[in-house]
Structure 1
Amino acid sequence: MLTDEMKEAIEKNLVFVATASSDGTPNVVPIGFARPIDDKRILIVDVFMKKTLSNLEENPKMSIIVQNAKEHPYQFKGVAEIFKSGEFFKEAVEWAQNVMSEVEPKSAILMTVKEIYSVKPGPDAGKRIK
């Protein structure tokens, strides 16, 4: 589902993560620690999440868009799982602390991508890609 171009865009750019609470209140935050781990899943490190984590606990649906949407015009929609221990949490902690030794990740968010849309301006804006 995720192409090599999409994976590279996620890993090399800031991403914006959108969530909503169970009552529909939206929240969008920039995230620096996001990377694909295979063709369907994206690992996100929770260092400072408050509303985002609370929203995901109430409603696991989420969406991601890459900062540079002009070059990488994709929106990824999927479902999150939260890990506070285990393999994914350990991977998230090691990765984040290798980049910034002073950070203390609280959890790992594993997003399984279900849909991909174009956000490229023009007639294909909003068109489902996969």
Structure 2
Amino acid sequence: MKTIPEAILKAWDEEREGFCILTTATPDGEPNAIYVGIVGHCPEGFFIANNYFHKTLANLEANPKASLLFITKERKAYQIKGTISFLTEGPVYDAMKAANKPEYPGHSAALLSVETIYSGAEQLV
């Protein structure tokens, strides 16, 4: 896990717009992208609420590598790449549950441990 630079956290907290896109791949390499709305950051990386993961969950169980894409109001895109683990207790899980709407199941918190961060073609981390 790598430390998330302050500039990325600022872009996330103050400039991010709309939903994020989480991308995974099947064991044979077929990509799968979904919109995710319940996403946050913590010292360990970025968490995503596993509310209705189906293909995504199967993909991550077979291959835990994923990327998370977000865009700022100025249309600057950031792509965070790493490995996902699933948490069903502890502070990250609690943070996901607090951010999640009560009507959503929040089965687990998918924790994306940061390995690389890009803005366009430029690798930042």
TM-score of the superposed pair, with normalisation by structure 1: 0.79
What does 1:12-91 correspond to in 2, within 5 Å?
A: 13-38=18-43, 41-68=45-72, 70-83=74-87, 85-87=88-90, 88-91=92-95
Shifted more, 64-73 versus 103-112: the winner is: 64-73
Name the SS of the counterpart of 1:92 in structure 2.
helix
How has the CA–CA distance of structure 1 residues 34 and 9 changed in structure 2, closer, same or farther, with 3 Å as cutoff?
farther
1:129 equivalent in alignment to 2:116: no
Partners of 1:111 and 1:19 lie apart in 2 by: 12
**Which structure 2 residue ranges, 5 or more long, are not aligned?**
none
- Tell me if structure 2 keeps the 8 A contact 1:10–1:34: no
Alpha-carbon deviation of 1:53? 1.0
- Tell me if structure 1 keeps the 8 A contact 2:17–2:72: no
Structure 1 residue aligned with 2:99: 95
1:5 equivalent in alignment to 2:5: no
Residue by residue over 1:17-61, the C-alpha shift from the partner in whole angstroms, topping out at 9 and shown as x without a partner, is 0001221111000000111112x5001101111111111111010
Between the two proteins, what is the percent identity of the paired residues? 25
Structural RMSD (CA): 2.2
| Structure with more relative contact order (C-alpha pairs < 8 Å, separation 6 or more) | 2
Shifted more, 5-14 versus 109-118: the winner is: 5-14
Structure 1 letter corresponding to 2:75: E
TM-score of the superposed pair, with normalisation by structure 2: 0.82
Name the SS of the counterpart of 1:36 in structure 2.
strand
Structure 1 letter corresponding to 2:60: L
Runs (4 or more) in structure 1 with deviation over 6 Å come to: none
**Which structure 1 residue ranges, 5 or more long, are not aligned?**
120-125
Structure 2 residue aligned with 1:109: 110
How has the CA–CA distance of structure 1 residues 82 and 5 changed in structure 2, closer, same or farther, with 3 Å as cutoff?
same
How has the CA–CA distance of structure 1 residues 90 and 10 changed in structure 2, closer, same or farther, with 3 Å as cutoff?
farther
Higher strand share: 2
Name the SS of the counterpart of 1:105 in structure 2.
coil
Partners of 1:62 and 1:76 lie apart in 2 by: 8
Partners of 1:69 and 1:24 lie apart in 2 by: 32
